[in-house]
Amino acid sequence: MGRCCAIIDPVCAGHDNFGHLESNARLVNACSGIPRDVARLAFEPALREDAERVHDPGYLSWLEQRCSAIVTPEWLDTDTYITRRSFDAALRAAGAAIAAVERSIEGEHCFALVRPPGHHAEFDRAMGFCLINNVAVAAKKALDSVGKIAIVDWDVHHGNGTQNCFYGTDRVLYCSVHQEHLFPYSGTVDEVGAGDGKGYTINAPLQAGSTIADYQFVFSEIFVPAIERFSPDVMIVSAGQDILFDDPLGRMSIRPQDFELLTRMLTRAAGVPLALVLEGGYSQSHGAAVHHIFAALMSNGKVDVQGMPSGRTQTIVSWLKSEHRLP
Ligand SMILES: [Zn+2]
């Protein structure tokens, strides 16, 4: 039986906007999937200096002041809202990601189920429901004590903010699988990193309707061998469950039980405990998916082949194999 824990935080509820998909209600639904016997970990909010490893100090000051000055929710762009408590919630979410990574370094799988999400947040701006890039903040901090970090982002949207944060370094391997031609419209196969980071960003944009057969093919042929070659000290998952079949924002065909297989493949590839951090996921079946992720963390199981990937996925995989010189 694997050791694992969860992080939840009531402060996240301060960032809420009734009727918006990225609401506290969706977090409550996700958290319904945490098994009863999984321990909840206490943690501290991220320090300002932690957030400044990833974000422009001027942006953080602006965001803090803007939140403190409002009474009712306001919009930073057409997708992204703030409330009076949003800055506090964002620092708590980033702190939860830091704690999840630290716990994984100590030898235990940990899933931080917190919001607002983070992977679209850029150096100097909020974007796509995200205010502070939780995973990037946690990874930057961990690089003080470990050599190499792998990040796998299975959210249906490309994690532009995370990719850009580590685009020029060979100490972070960023692997994203996402729906092509979808917000934020980045993450094409030829985005592979630059300078020292060339070859350390891997993007697998899949067509709408992709199934677990497609995801398993990308994982087994690209992500797993790339992670094994990289041999990370820390493995972070940007866990966005908006690839579920019933998600209102994505058009993928992943079932809740499929997350068990994806999680198992990553635990085996990395050889180190996983730190998972919630990104998207807005559907009814989100809680069931979270339950299956924990099931994979807590027990060993088989990884059965799930059928044939589409021709389009096979084409992308063969291109990526060649570009990234994978066996
Ligand atoms: Zn998403």
**Tens digits of per-residue pLDDT, 119-152?**
999 999 999 999 999 999 999 999 999 999 999 9
80-97 tens-digit pLDDT: 999 999 999 999 999 999
What's the gap in Å between 77 CA and the centre of ligand 1? 16
**SS in 3 state form for 28-68?**
HHHHCCCCCCCEECCCCCCCHHHHCCCCCHHHHHHHHHHHH
What's the gap in Å between 205 CA and the centre of ligand 1? 13
**pLDDT on residue 236:** 98
**pLDDT on residue 120:** 98
Strands (E), the chain: 4-7, 39-40, 74-75, 81-82, 109-112, 149-153, 172-179, 201-206, 234-239, 274-278
pLDDT (mean) for 44-67: 98
Sign, CA dihedral 281-260-229-182, equals negative
pLDDT (mean) for 175-200: 98
- 287 pLDDT more than 70: yes
pLDDT (mean) for 240-253: 98
What's the gap in Å between 182 CA and the centre of ligand 1? 10
What's the gap in Å between 157 CA and the centre of ligand 1? 4
Q: Report pTM.
A: 0.97
**What's the rounded Cα separation, in Å, for the pair 322 and 317?**
9
Active-site residue, 20 included: no
Q: How confident is the model at residue 304 (pLDDT cuts 50, 70, 90)?
A: confident
**pLDDT on residue 4:** 95
- Considering 120, 178, 286, 292, which one is annotated as catalytic? 120
What's the gap in Å between 244 CA and the centre of ligand 1? 11
**pLDDT on residue 300:** 85
Q: How confident is the model at residue 18 (pLDDT cuts 50, 70, 90)?
A: confident
Closest CA to 97 of 49, 139, 68: 139
Q: Are 281 and 240 in contact (CB under 8 A)?
A: yes
Q: Are 109 and 2 in contact (CB under 8 A)?
A: yes
Tokens 């992204």 belong to which residue?
80
**Mean pLDDT in the chain?**
97
* Cross-strand bridge partners of residue 178: 205
**pLDDT on residue 2:** 64
What's the gap in Å between 1 CA and the centre of ligand 1? 31
Q: Is 111 helix (H, G, I), strand (E, B) or coil?
A: strand
The CB density around residue 248, as the number of other CB atoms within 10 Å, is 11
pLDDT (mean) for 18-40: 95
Q: How confident is the model at residue 65 (pLDDT cuts 50, 70, 90)?
A: very high
Quote the distance between the C-alpha of residue 200 and its chain's center: 17
